[in-house]
Amino acid sequence: MKSLFIRQLYAERQKGRKKHLSLLPLCFLLFQVLWALWQLTHAAPEELETGYLLLFHHLPLMNTILLPMLAAVIASRLCDMEIKGDTLKLLYTMQKPAQLFHCKFLMGLKYLFYFTMGQGLLILGAGKICRFTDPLKWTMLAEHMAVTFTVSAVLLAIQQTLSLLSASQLLPLAAGLVGCFLGLFSLFFPTPIARLFIWGYYAAFPAASTDWERDSKIVRYFEVPFPMTGFLLFLGTVFIIYLLCKTLTVRKEV
Amino acid sequence: MMLSRCIKSENQKLRHSLIFPACIIIPVIPAVMGTFNYLQNTGILTHQWYSLWTQHTLFYASFFYAPLIALYCSYLWRLEHRNHNWNVFMTAPVSIPCLYFGKLAVIFRVTLMTQLWVGILYLFCGKVIVGLPDFCPANILFWLLRGTLAAAAIGAIQLLLSMVIRSFSVPIGIALIGSVLGMLLSNKGFGLFWPYSLMLMGMNSNKTEDALSGNVLSFLLSTLVFFLIFYWLAIHFLKTRDVHA
């Protein structure tokens, strides 16, 4: 017999049928594939020698622009059905609010997982197609994917909370847009200020960095050690934010 | 007469809505952050009003202007997508072009307000916060106007997308992807052939010299063509497709 939580998760899956939610990460990924191809076909031969590092440096920037909005759109699609149909009152008579929050989050996480895996494949595929000469370090790939997934997950939790709390989806989507703005701007700020904006954390744990010579205009990519302690602290913060989001949603009067 | 009534009714639908706070708050972010970035880099950014303009419009015009218009459009159509309002909308004794143009006019009005606010914030930051001398150059105000005109094309596309896609968020995601693609295409010189590039070209985002100098007519033509294409598509869709309330 299926456990109660699995059944609730299954119900969430049923609600998402024919909503074509998988198309969302696919579209965003397809765009990144096009962008990567464009970027790599215009790269200088010496840049392709460090092709993997180039991708590990540029993809976090692209993620900062796109993924807060992807998280906002996924959360809105998953939660809007309850707001539009005014079903929360009915659901909460049978289901604990916290369970609904967990189930919805896991459903959203599934699409972010697809996207992250797809981005991993993009890096591998780009290396094969464009014949990068530098070897791929699997630890770097794993670290990049872990950061992408974790930051997206925390943004999903925030967006899901906003989507469930507000009667109109205008507010959560506007918040997603503001998040994109803040994340992107934070990349140009001094590090202590940049760390205040969670939307910019895609680039907070870089696997590669650059050295630009102003006179010759040559960009050199090099590996940087992964800040494991910082990442573990970030994971702890993610957990706290998730609990906070859950508490806020559970306390909502329906 | 009918058209003005349609515009009035669309305006009424927006009363007490969250669109206006969004239209006020969102442009404040690029203004604050752009000014901060300008003040941090005054050693490199030496063109005063022009440099401040690049910082204010760098990301706003390139990535977020179109999603902001998409947000307005999604909100406006959401009202029709809910509670069987499509039936009421389509059975109103008003011609379809009037109904649709009513929505388009409201979108354009809100966009105009947003752009005005962007201009006010730019002048305020330049004069009061940064303390730049004189008044800002007149051509920057012209760029702001050009960016507003380009919004007509985006308004037409996004209104069509939000009408066809019964989701609030998906058209906004499309607008963001379109904008990023628009920036890439504009850098390659194909901006006039992609509607989402028109706004950043019109606003001369992140450039101190006019990127459209001598090309303004092509820009206006491109805006008009995209506007007419998507306006016609929307009217055709409304006239020929059955309503799913």
Q: What is the number of H-type helices and E-type strands within chain A?
A: 10, 2
Least confident stretch, A15-24, A118-127, B172-181, B236-245: B236-245
Return the SS3 of B58.
Answer: coil
Question: pLDDT tens-digit profile of A195-253?
Answer: 999 999 998 888 888 887 767 667 788 888 888 999 999 999 999 999 999 999 998 88
Q: Which residue in A38, A82, A185, A191 has the most chain B C-beta atoms within 10 A of its own C-beta, making it the best mutation to test that interface?
A: A185
Query: Which residues contact residue B72 at a Cβ distance below 8 angstroms, ignoring those fewer than 6 apart?
Result: B19, B23, B107, B110, B111, B158
Which residues of A sit within 8 Å Cβ distance of B? 24, 27-28, 31, 34-35, 38, 65-66, 69-70, 72-73, 76-77, 80, 84, 168-171, 173-174, 176-178, 180-182, 184-185, 188-190
How many residues can be counted in chain B?
245
Give the three-state DSSP class for A218.
strand
Ramachandran angles phi, psi of A62, nearest 5°: -65, -40
How near does any CA of chain B get to the CA of A217, in Å?
17
Whether residue B14 is predicted with pLDDT greater than 80 in this model: the reply is: yes
Confidence of residue A165 (pLDDT cuts 50, 70, 90): very high
pTM of the prediction?
0.88
**A170 to B22: CB separation less than 8 angstroms, yes or no:** yes
Query: Over 70: is that where the pLDDT of B240 sits?
Result: yes
pLDDT of B242 > 80? The answer is no
First to last CA, chain B: 28
Res. A55: pLDDT tops 70: yes
Distance from CA of A83 to the nearest CA of B (A): 11
Q: List, for residues A61-116, the tens digit of each pLDDT value.
A: 999 999 999 999 999 999 988 888 888 888 888 889 999 999 999 999 999 999 99
In angstroms, the CA A207 to CA A138 distance is: 11
Which chain B residues are closer than 8 Å to A181 by Cβ? 26, 29-30, 33, 59-60, 64
B1 three-class SS: coil
Which chain B residue has the Cα nearest residue A39? B184
Is residue A41 packed enough to be buried (19+ CB in 10 Å), middle (13-18) or exposed (0-12)? exposed
Give the whole-angstrom CA distance, residue B56 versus residue B28: 10
Determine the Cα–Cα distance for residues A66 and A81; give it in Å rounded to an integer: 24
Helix (H) or strand (E) holding A139: helix A138-165
- d(CA B67, CA B11) in angstroms, rounded, equals 21
Torsion of CA A213, A217, A218, A219, to 10 degrees: 80
| Minimum CA–CA partner of B24 in chain A | A174
> Between chain A and chain B, how many beta carbons pairs sit less than 8 Å apart?
104
What residue segments make up the domains of chain B, in order of their start?
2-240
The domain ranges of chain A are 21-250
> Does A173 sit within 8 Å of B71, measured CB to CB?
yes
Distance between CA B28 and CA B96 in Å, rounded? 37
